[in-house]
Amino acid sequence: MSIREYAIAAIPADGIGIDMIEATIEVLGALQQRFPDIGLKFEEFDWGSDYYKKHGVMMPADGLKTLEPFDAILFGAVGAPDVPDHITLWGLRLEICQGFDQYANVRPARVLPGIRSPLRNCELGDLDWVIIRENSEGEYSGIGGRAHRGHPEEVATEVSIFTRTGVTRIMRYAFETAQSRPRKLLTVVTKSNAQRHGMVMWDEIAAEVAGDYPDVSWDRMLVDAMTVRMTQNPGSLDTIVATNLHADILSDLAGALTGSLGVVPTSNIDPQRRYPSMFEPIHGSAFDIIGKGIANPIASFWTAVEMLKFLGEEPAADALMTAIEQTTWAGILTPDVGGTAGTAEVTSAVISALLDSKVRRKSVG
């Protein structure tokens, strides 16, 4: 039997990211028992806020060079109570996303069996979205500065950069994603009434690119109205594309509407595969629940599903997703989604479902 080997860089980083990546590697170990022709080789990196406190940087200067030969990166979360958030975010997660030009941030959101959406009348299947977040520029261009610090005349600028290349490539990615899904439906989100330069260019480029995808139905929404549509008419949406910041906010809302941010995954993709792509749960480091053993590992497991799909291992990805859904359907849930199980119990249940498909349903109240 020939084994398809993949080198995976694991960066658990901060807070619950550490427990989540440990649980995910355990689940992927079980997956390899079921699919012995897949060989996942993990190398772990201790980069993150603790590394910062020792070395003054979130990752070494040659970190990207170290990561470049890997097939994929499995990432946990960044954020620590005693390090400013802009240091942790820019020093690691954005350094990797932007350094490897992972310009497509893909965020599926779906209500899983056994998990209740906080939306009234939202049944299984009513909320099944993919949010495409532009991941290389826009509000996250890092352009700006501050002057006259501490004085009354202090000034700060934060400049959003939108390029024709950047907007066109994410728009194409979004239309292709919509085209690959059964409903072939795309919603382009901007704020082009108030932001009359970059956002108007987004709308124009959307209309241009749409011409190449005549089988995709598409519409436009302002980001504020989009929050209303997401909560009041979730079934009217399928694929959604928005700027770096708008999609970051909308995908947190999407996660909450599926039951919890502890459920939903993210892929940071370089579609041209020049560099490794990076996979992570959407949630952050959640330092309020560190060490309590109750963090929801489902987002990380679903993240692993997305990574397996990207590596071309569709049957293994489907098997893991089925095991996740059997576990949630069985009511083996952490407190954020209304259950009483801990991280370890959910992890064991997913492994059992993967290996012997015998997950028994808990009595769910």
Residues found near ligand GGG in the complex (CB under 6 A): 77-79, 89, 93, 248, 280-282, 284
Q: What angle do CA 164, 167, 168 make, to 5 degrees?
A: 80
Residue corresponding to tokens 């390899």: 32
From CA 41, how far away is CA 25, in angstroms rounded? 10
Angle of the 244-257 helix axis to the 223-232 helix axis, nearest 10: 10
Smallest gap from Cβ 136 to ligand GGG, in A, equals 13
From CA 359, how far away is CA 204, in angstroms rounded? 50
Residue nearest to ligand GGG (CB): 77
The closest of 198, 208, 273 to 243, measured between CA atoms, is 198
Smallest gap from Cβ 59 to ligand GGG, in A, equals 14
The closest of 263, 30, 264 to 130, measured between CA atoms, is 264
Smallest gap from Cβ 89 to ligand GGG, in A, equals 5
Smallest gap from Cβ 244 to ligand GGG, in A, equals 7
In the bound state with ligand GGG, the residue whose beta carbon lies nearer, of 134 and 280, is 280
In the bound state with ligand GGG, the residue whose beta carbon lies nearer, of 84 and 145, is 84
In the bound state with ligand GGG, the residue whose beta carbon lies nearer, of 16 and 216, is 16
Q: What angle do CA 154, 159, 163 make, to 5 degrees?
A: 170
In the bound state with ligand GGG, the residue whose beta carbon lies nearer, of 21 and 330, is 21
Smallest gap from Cβ 247 to ligand GGG, in A, equals 9
From CA 39, how far away is CA 32, in angstroms rounded? 7
Angle of the 16-34 helix axis to the 314-329 helix axis, nearest 10: 120
Smallest gap from Cβ 1 to ligand GGG, in A, equals 35
In the bound state with ligand GGG, the residue whose beta carbon lies nearer, of 58 and 119, is 58
